[in-house]
Structures are given as C-alpha cells and as structure tokens.
Amino acid sequence: MLSPLMNEPEKQTSHIHETQVKHSVPNPKHRRKRHHFLAAWLRSPKGIGALLPSSRSLARAMVAQIDTSVPGMIIELGAGTGVMTHALLEAGIPPERLIILERDQMLHDVLAAQFPGLTVLCEDAVNLDKILAKHGSSEVCGIISSLPFLTIPKDIGQAIQVQMAKIIGKAGVIVQFTYGMQSPITKPQLQKLGLVSKRCKIVVANVPPAHVWVYRQNA
C-alpha cells in the first residue's frame, strides 16, 4: 500500500516486515517472566492459581475500575511478575500511593528488581491489616487483587476477604479477577462483610478469559 503522504512503497513494505518480526520473535523479558511464573506454579500450583501471567488487557481493565481521584493508598495483592503493577504505573498512579504484596519469595525478588522505586513486600495477604498498620497506611481507596480465591484454602481466603472489606472504607473498591463464572467472593460472605458486587467486564483476550469483579461497601 502507498503512503498517503509521500508514496514510499519500499519504506511501507519494510515497516510491515518489522511489525511481523516484532510479533513473531518473543520478547526475552516476557519469556523470562513466563519462566519465573511457571517455576512458581510448579512450586505451588494452588497458591499461584494460573499457568500464565495475566494479559495487559486484563491488567488495564482491572486498574480502570479504581477512581484515582479518591484519596488513599492502592494495594496490590498477589503481584506475580508485575503485569498489574505495570498497569498501575502506566495509569499515572504515583509510586508513593502503591503497596505491592507478593508471597512467593522468588516472584517478590523479580518484582523488587523490576520496580526499584516501589514498596514491594514479600508478605502474605493474610496479614494485611498488620502490614498496613506497620506502613502507616490507614486510608485505602483501592485493592487490586489477583489472589486465587478458587484454589487457596477457603478459610485463608475468607480471612483475607474480611481484612480487605475492613480497609477499603466507604469510597474504596476491591477489584478482583476470576476465571470462574461466579463471584470469587461468595454471596453469604458478601452479606456477612456488608459488600455489594458487580461483574464489570469480561476480558476474552486473556488466556483463559477472565471476569473482572468490583466490590464496595453497601451504602
């Protein structure tokens, strides 16, 4: 096809070629992240809960649910290899508003090396309230959670959900994705915690397709 400006068919052809090459050669950084992720899955399949890191489209859809004009910290739970963390920064959220939690030591180290200016903690989300108290973060406007509630022990998952519900305050939100068809926080648990839920988006481009849920306190 000819360029509408200068009609340079040769340049246009080489651009097409470059684009094709870009797509066909896997980025070594992405390959390394997938390798770390797969290694973590082999160490703890149920604790990781996915074979692949989330796609950038899922990460953007998750981050878009947070109203960054609401004051307070944004907490990421289960950061893995950092795809959501990257989307949070890409959305213009200042690093000092972010606290990133990852329980797996190797994944934590990968994250810490990747995001040297961020608070990246190797911690279990089951200790969320203590961790936030230690970091003086009483006001939280959003939680981005990739925690695999369908595969981690139910009592641990519910203990984390209790703390998430407590810390978000009146204007905050919990954003969670799941591969399942139902809300990963069950109806009785939502009632107990005084939360309302909304399935906001289905990201079919993710492998596997993922549903984005948003929870907030019942007004």
Ligand X SMILES: C[S@@+](CC[C@H](N)C(=O)[O-])C[C@H]1O[C@@H](n2cnc3c(N)ncnc32)[C@H](O)[C@@H]1O
Q: Which parts of this chain interact with ligand X (CB under 6 A)?
A: 47-50, 53-54, 77-80, 83-84, 101-104, 107, 124-126, 146-148, 152
Chain-centre distance of CA 146, in angstroms? 5
Residue closer to ligand X by CB (options 72, 80) is 80
Encode burial over 41-55: b for 16+ CB neighbours within 10 A, e otherwise: beeeeebbbbeebbb
| The one-letter amino acid at 103 | R
Residue closer to ligand X by CB (options 53, 172) is 53
Smallest distance from ligand X to CB 4, Å: 40
Pick from 178, 143, 147, 166: nearest CA to 63: 143
Residue closer to ligand X by CB (options 196, 204) is 204
Instruction: Please tell me the distance from the alpha carbon of residue 49 to that of residue 71, in angstroms, as a whole number.
Output: 32
Smallest distance from ligand X to CB 113, Å: 15
Residue closer to ligand X by CB (options 14, 73) is 73
Smallest distance from ligand X to CB 179, Å: 9
Instruction: Please tell me the distance from the alpha carbon of residue 171 to that of residue 154, in angstroms, as a whole number.
Output: 27
Smallest distance from ligand X to CB 160, Å: 6
Pick from 49, 70, 64, 60: nearest CA to 217: 70
Smallest distance from ligand X to CB 127, Å: 8
Q: How far is CA 209 from CA 15, 54, 135, 179, 212, in A?
A: 32, 10, 35, 6, 10
Parallel/antiparallel/unpaired status of strands 210-217 and 73-77 = unpaired
Q: How far is CA 195 from CA 118, 148, 173, 217, in A?
A: 30, 19, 10, 5
Residue closer to ligand X by CB (options 47, 169) is 47
Residue closer to ligand X by CB (options 162, 171) is 162
Smallest distance from ligand X to CB 62, Å: 8
